[in-house]
Amino acid sequence: MAKDYSRTQRIGDSLQQELARLLQFTLSDPRLKMVSVTGVDVSRDLSHAKVFFTQMGVDDAQAAAATTAALDRASGFLRSEIARTATLRTVPKLRFCFDESVGRGRAMEALIRDVRAADGELGDQPDSPEGD
């Protein structure tokens, strides 16, 4: 049977859980409040990890620039904390990226809601006579 769940995926999931815990309970930077880790992509050689995050009330990467900078500054501390608890030989270098998919999802929902409202308004109009 083929590997459906690779080692890099397992390590990414483990890093995601550990980073979420560290962000919630260990870091006290006010810029990092309401930050959620949405995913971690680990390179094949396990040397780098791209950490995707969202922040409550922020929908684009420009608005999250200060949070990204704060996370990048804390990456060394986060790596050392992960190294203390994880059973990895080396902990990947962390690179933080804002996950814009949540904001795009909200925008798509708003568009769908607008189309449904417009469709509902058209449905309330009486039908035009077709053959009269």
Q: What is the CATH number of the domain that holds 79?
A: 3.30.300.20
Question: Would you state the pLDDT for residue 1?
Answer: 43
pTM over 0.75: yes
Over residues 30-56, the mean pLDDT reads 91
Q: Give the span between the Cα atoms of 1 and 47, in whole angstroms.
A: 28
Would you say residue 91 has pLDDT above 60? yes
- Structural domains of the chain, count: 1
Buried/exposed 59-84: b ≥16 CB within 10 Å, e otherwise:
beeeebeebbebbeebbeebbebbee
Question: Would you state the pLDDT for residue 79?
Answer: 93
Q: Looking at the domain assignment, is residue 130 inside a domain?
A: no
Q: Looking at the domain assignment, is residue 45 inside a domain?
A: yes
Q: Looking at the domain assignment, is residue 1 inside a domain?
A: no
Q: Looking at the domain assignment, is residue 2 inside a domain?
A: no
Q: What is the CA radius of gyration of the chain?
A: 22
Would you say residue 124 has pLDDT above 80? no
Question: Would you state the pLDDT for residue 78?
Answer: 93
Q: Looking at the domain assignment, is residue 127 inside a domain?
A: no
Question: Would you state the pLDDT for residue 130?
Answer: 56
Would you say residue 29 has pLDDT above 80? yes
Whole domain around residue 95: which residue ranges?
7-122
Q: Cα–Cα–Cα angle for 124, 128, 131, nearest 5°? A: 150
Q: Looking at the domain assignment, is residue 132 inside a domain?
A: no
Would you say residue 132 has pLDDT above 50? no
